[in-house]
Structure 1
């Protein structure tokens, strides 16, 4: 039996306290890219009771995604927005989900992100990462942006950290490791970086601006 909204909210309030949970309730977070980073970030935020998640990705679930992304074999071939929304609805049925199955571009960013307070950059491709960061800084500089750089390989998880780059831009990762160096993306280390991003987003929702 699915618990009521009131029952789930009470359980979250008991864990987080009423004041903090109210801030999470009011959160509106865009997750740009729903791969190894974004799918893990979305689940962490949904479990924390963030009120609205905006899922943005144009890709479909592929067999090569299953080593690190929060999808299942029966979801192969489906759009990631739809597959992840299905999972999130099972975890947090009262979370408001917005889905845009589109490719984010510098031209559509201002409209695409208009209703969001915090933006999570979770793309796999360096060019897409750079586009989103520069686009947000140029078009919507008033919004917080939590980006990621460096999580490949099996290096120590302790090298992954969160820092405030400048203004409202935060970077999570080791800022060095790259798949172009022949290093693969391994689920555990990618998940560590995603947890850093999710934690920073929750801190920002709570009013904490330092990493």
Structure 2
């Protein structure tokens, strides 16, 4: 099965965002990953609604939003109206994460949870019955260009273990310092999707099409 390769659009060239999407479309990426940050849940501000609007307007492919914001339940309707395909929330940012995830699914949008390096599998287990995706953060969220945290691999292994995963119906994606070497290793483990930033896609000498073909 082909792996899902999603450019992290916070790393793209914002001076010409529509053209960036065109070049990524030509490279046959699987879709687009949008980081939304409020400066509260994480110590940084992320992409804006206008950026999301430009990306959504210029592609028919999958667009996900990773909500690194407090109280995401207040904004689910807004992102649903913008035509996104997957919404990720952090369980720690929401008073009633199960209710918010159910709201996402009721809008015919795939529901996902993003788990920080310090979030254990045991704490999210009650939510696994109602999600479609788990995005494992392999860096602490909020900034591009960080170092991969090797200890997170144990958590990925636990989520992919047959005896555990067979109880649920989710796909595992990873986000943070995802290099070609990491893709090779994690693909073998069973990870299905990869968010691509500066470690593998952006700010390279090769064009996007050559890079994506190489990763595939």
Q: TM-score, normalised by structure 1?
A: 0.35
Q: TM-score, normalised by structure 2?
A: 0.34
More helix by share: 1
